[in-house]
Amino acid sequence: MTYKAKFRVWRGDDESGDLQNYEVDVNEGEVVLDIVHRLQATQAPDLAVRWNCKAGKCGSCSAEVNGKPRLMCMTRMNTFTEDEVITITPMRTFPVIRDLVTDVSYNYTKARMVPAFAPPADLEPGDYRMAQVDVERSQEFRKCIECFMCNNVCHAVRDHEENKTTFSGPRFLMRIAELDMHPLDTVDRRKVAVDDHGLGYCNITKCCTEVCPEHIHITDNALIPLKERVADKRYDPIFSIASLFSRSKDTRTPAPETPKG
């Protein structure tokens, strides 16, 4: 059952670093994070890694395994062959702090720029009434565990550091869509989505959707509907005028059907 696997792990800090080779025991049923823990316990006690729940619920242990963004706790060792060299590197889009740990403060800065949920002023706690079918659209996005792999993989910032000031990445555009689809929210965030969060940078290549460990249909259910609503507001003069006389919620287009897979 047990075999020795070959690992290459990026070790270093914000100034320099390189891949270091390790041979580590692997047992049946283990995941990549188990191997990283075994490395810490036996060979590299100061190997820096972030993790919390080890159950795919907290989104802390994001890294790139053989170049692909993955939660290490949900990447099973039996998805690799026994002679395969497994390379673990930190998420590329965010600055390295040490080893596999990156500075993800970009995400928290962007989170703070999204205008908060604003219920009707006269609605008392306990009086909220919403239909299940209406809350489900936003609930899908609230499954997000903030692993930030979508923001890591999005080419608009992955290869363009300069876009980080103007673009918030799929995570926070999805947050805007989530609030937008909240049945009791009263704020129109369409202008903010474009001006402050760079919705226009997204050209729906679906890389974010592919890496989402929660299988959220970020592109189809959040980003495209958001783009459609923004397009309505910006380019349809009749629509714009009409929207002055009605609550913004009444004019949204329905989200597309959940695609397969």
Partner 1 sequence: MTDLERHSFDVVVIGAGGAGLRAAIEARLQGKTVAIVCKSLFGKAHTVMAEGGIAAAMGNVNSKDNWQVHFRDTMRGGKFLNSWRMAELHAKEAPQRVWELETYGALFDRTPDGKISQRNFGGHEYPRLAHVGDRSGLELIRTLQQKIVSLQQEDFRETGDYQSKIKIFAEVTVTRLLVNDGRIAGAYAYYRETGDFVVFEAPAVVLATGGIGKTFKVTSASWEYTGDGHALAMRAGATTLNMEFIQFHPTGMVWPLSVKGILVTESVRGDGGILTNSEGKRFMFDYIPDVFKAQYATTPEEGDRWYTDPEHNRRPPELLPRDEVARAINSEVKAGRGTPHGGVYLDVSTRLPADVIKKKLPSMWHQFKELADVDITKEPMEVGPTCHYVMGGVEVDPDDEQTKLPGLFAAGEVSGGMHGSNRLGGNSLSDLLVFGRRAGLGAAIYVDELGGARPTVTDEMVADAETEALAAFHVEGGENPYTIHADLQQTMNDLVGIIRTESEMQEALDRLEGFKERVRRASVQGGRAFNPGWHLALDLKNMLLVSEAIARSALERQESRGGHTRDDYPVMSPDWRQLNIVSRTEGDGVAIYRQPLSPMREDLLELFDVNELNKYLTEAELPKGEHS
Q: Is 60 in the site for partner 1 (CB under 8 A)?
A: yes
Q: Is 19 in the site for partner 1 (CB under 8 A)?
A: no
- Report the C-alpha gap between 40 and 34 in whole angstroms: 10
Instruction: Give the torsion through C-alpha atoms of 5, 6, 12, 15, to 10 deg.
Output: -150
In the complex, what is the shortest distance from the CB of residue 238 to partner 1, in angstroms, rounded to a whole number?
A: 32
Q: Crossing angle, helix 169-181 and helix 105-112, to 10 degrees? A: 30
- Identity of the amino acid at 206: K
Contact letters for partner 1, residues 179-218 (x by CB under 8 A): x--x--x---------------------------------
17 and 11 in contact (C-beta within 8 Å)?
Answer: yes
Segment interacting with partner 1, rule: CB under 8 A, options 28-36, 222-230, 234-242, 247-255: 28-36
The partner residues of 69 in beta bridges, in order of sequence, read 64
Determine which residue in the list 6, 10, 58, 187 makes contact with partner 1, applying CB under 8 A.
58
- Report the C-alpha gap between 50 and 101 in whole angstroms: 6
Determine which residue in the list 6, 8, 17, 54 makes contact with partner 1, applying CB under 8 A.
54
Determine which residue in the list 25, 52, 85, 195 makes contact with partner 1, applying CB under 8 A.
52
Q: Is 74 in the site for partner 1 (CB under 8 A)?
A: yes
